[in-house]
Amino acid sequence: MPGSVTTALDRATTKTGSTLLNKVPAITATFWLIKILSTTIGETFADYLAVQVGLGTAVTDGAMMTLLAVALVAQLRAKKLIPWLYWLTVVLVSIVGTQITDFFTDVLGVSLYVSTAVFSVVLAVVFTVWWRQERTLAITAIDTPRRERYYWGAILTTFALGTAGGDLATEALSLGFRNGALIFGGLILAVWLARRLGLNAVLAFWIAYVLTRPLGASLGDLLTQDRGFGGLGLGASLTSLIFLGVIIALVAREQVNANRHGIRAKGESPAVSPHRDYAWAAAGAVAVVAAAVVLAPAPTPAAASPATAAAPGKGGHVNPLEADATSPIGDLRPFAVIVDDVAASAKKGDLAAATARIKDLEVAWDNGEAAMKPASPDDWHSMDSAIDGALTALRATPPTKAASVSALTALQSTIGTLEKKQ
């Protein structure tokens, strides 16, 4: 009965000629650049709030889901495309989609193979129901309330699927974030070539839309990871600020164009020259690269030392995870030093000092995740679980000496076990 009422209302709206203007921006170079940048923010911003700011996973997840609900309600109530509101919703969907996948993987322990398969099925169901009721999946026809609801349901699922599929490729297949960026970028290029050769436009769009999620995540890891792990060392906060700044500039331009020219009925965007759009997209990409190069910290001697220790006659940078075989996931000694400091404070009963010091461990572990996890996901999860146990014990309300020492002893044991593996 509710479904028939909704259908009747949608049909009535169509007959009266008061259908919504298409509420999705035109698919241009700027669209794809903003989409990729927003997926990177989805990967980095939640980590920044949870770890660097110290809100924790639960508070961060709740805050982002609340903001998404507010933005999505505002987006659905709007009668036309409002660029800043649309892209704000996309950024929040990106963050929440990442959180959903991380919850299944890190909290519930669901295999990436399973989560990727589940999200694929969910997306297929959304598309099937959408097609049966609307006979179109084209984003140039998001011009009724029901179609828009299907659209945002599909968008959220693509972000979750892109996160799971990307993590599966880079972690389970041990590709790493650098290879991941090249592979997913290559796949998107292949989709573009296939479209030029006649691939259905709607199919090409949705395939590329899913693939931009792992591409953006890989690029984010490349920028945020410490130079010692093969990244540029910008960190999550600086990377998020750079990307957010470029997004704001590009969306502001879209908003100005919308205010000046209006949105055409089929959502083909304001009357702006495609060449000018390509120029803006190129300028945005150059701005990101330039900021990364200028703001990237210089390599520290410790990070540069593995290169000097490379075999004679073999030049170039050597990732310390590849040069040091102290554990399956790399050199754990820097983490062990922090853990020993925390354990010493906890054994003395100075839980405040222990809690303050373990923050360094949390940040360092988060910074190394993208490089260490693909090397041996099972061993990484063992270490991650032990760290979570120590964090939980020290951040309990109130923490106890016995529980904290026990959790830290278990963490030290885990480090010892991993170091003995190789």
Residue 18 has pLDDT above 80, yes or no: no
pLDDT per residue over 271-282, tens digit each? 556 677 788 888
State how far the alpha carbon of 400 is from the alpha carbons of 45, 384, 386, 397, in Å.
Answer: 32, 21, 17, 9
d(CA 407, CA 361): 14
Tell whether omega for the bond before 398 is within 30 degrees of 0, i.e. cis: yes
Q: Which tokens go with 309?
A: 């220790």
User: ∠220-226-229 over CA atoms, to 5°?
Assistant: 95
- What is the pLDDT, as a whole number, of residue 376? 81
d(CA 66, CA 72): 10
pLDDT per residue over 325-360, tens digit each? 478 888 888 888 899 999 999 999 999 898 888 888
Q: Which tokens go with 318?
A: 């050597």
* Arithmetic mean of pLDDT, 155-177: 81
Name the pLDDT band for 267 (thresholds 50, 70, 90): very low
* Arithmetic mean of pLDDT, 174-200: 88
Distance spanning both ends of the chain, measured CA to CA:
63
Residue % of the chain over a pLDDT of 90: 27
Name the pLDDT band for 73 (thresholds 50, 70, 90): very high
- What is the pLDDT, as a whole number, of residue 11? 39
Tell me the torsion sign for CA atoms 251, 254, 260, 266.
Answer: negative
Name the pLDDT band for 150 (thresholds 50, 70, 90): very high
* Arithmetic mean of pLDDT, 25-39: 90
- What is the pLDDT, as a whole number, of residue 259? 78
* Arithmetic mean of pLDDT, 119-137: 93
Residue % of the chain over a pLDDT of 70: 84
- What is the pLDDT, as a whole number, of residue 15? 37
Name the pLDDT band for 310 (thresholds 50, 70, 90): very low
